[in-house]
Chains A and B, each alone.
Chain A
């Protein structure tokens, strides 16, 4: 199959919005969604508290510590 060379450059979201008959508000709302970073699920603990908790917990849960007991 011979590839077809696409003559036009990639349109901007706003240009495509015009072509599709979308309002500028609608295009802006999609842009906002795509540009907003995804929120991480909150664990209820800060990063440092989570790491401290993990450090405390690890000796008790390690197989060697369990064997000593």
Chain B
């Protein structure tokens, strides 16, 4: 059996809760369609969680930290995301830039105020929308050859969203934030990628997948 080829991977540090559901789907679809594998600390119990996160960061070529939701939660600020950002920054420092760190925010200049130590990193501002998020991803990642455009990623995002009830049923998950559903959404995004390529090939037969 042939070993799967290596695919560049990204550690995804975002809030995994219902209020963030739309952007959670947008991150999975966008990153996967750019050709990346996502490492996420989903369904990891609190005990040993830190060790798992450190391992995931070490295995990843990049990390994305969404700081749009570090506000107070029941009177307490949410520190998990800044903590994981700190771990990634250290990883980037010791790995001599083999690990790149990217920050996403919903509001312009807020990351510079909340986390001024990272002023050297320009945050991508998604304004809480899937479109802003996809545009941010396209700013930081480029593809060789056939590039997936923002409108194409958005169309795939909507297609996956429409199928979420079935995908959730298929994986037997109660929540979208379970590992099994997450994996199925990843595969679903790639089925949409193939449809895009087929559509392009039909329009212009000179287009090929390059594989």
Given contacts A31-B191, A38-B162, contact A9 B183 (CB under 8 A): no
CB pair B144 A9 closer than 8 Å:
yes
Residue of A nearest to B138 (CB): A3
Quick one: which of B155-171 are within 8 Å of A by CB? 159-160, 162-163, 166-167, 170
CB pair B140 A1 closer than 8 Å:
yes
Quick one: which of B83-133 are within 8 Å of A by CB? 100, 102, 121-122, 124
SS of B interface (majority): mixed
Quick one: which of A18-47 are within 8 Å of B by CB? 18-20, 22, 26-27, 29-31, 33-35, 38
Q: Does A66 contact B (CB under 8 A)?
A: no
CB pair B140 A15 closer than 8 Å:
no
CB pair B188 A33 closer than 8 Å:
yes
Query: Total interface residues on B, using CB and 8 Å?
Result: 46
With A and B bound together, what is the CA distance between A19 and B159 in angstroms?
A: 23
CB pair B140 A9 closer than 8 Å:
no
- Give the residues in chain A near B162, CB-CB below 8 Å: 38
Given contacts A9-B209, A34-B192, contact A16 B167 (CB under 8 A): no
- Give the residues in chain B near A59, CB-CB below 8 Å: none
Known contacts A5-B143, A15-B5; 13 further A-B pairs (Cβ under 8 A): A1-B122, A1-B124, A4-B62, A6-B8, A6-B35, A6-B143, A8-B35, A10-B34, A15-B4, A20-B187, A22-B183, A33-B163, A34-B192
Q: Which residues of A are at the interface with B, using a C-beta cutoff of 8 A?
A: 1, 3-13, 15-20, 22, 26-27, 29-31, 33-35, 38
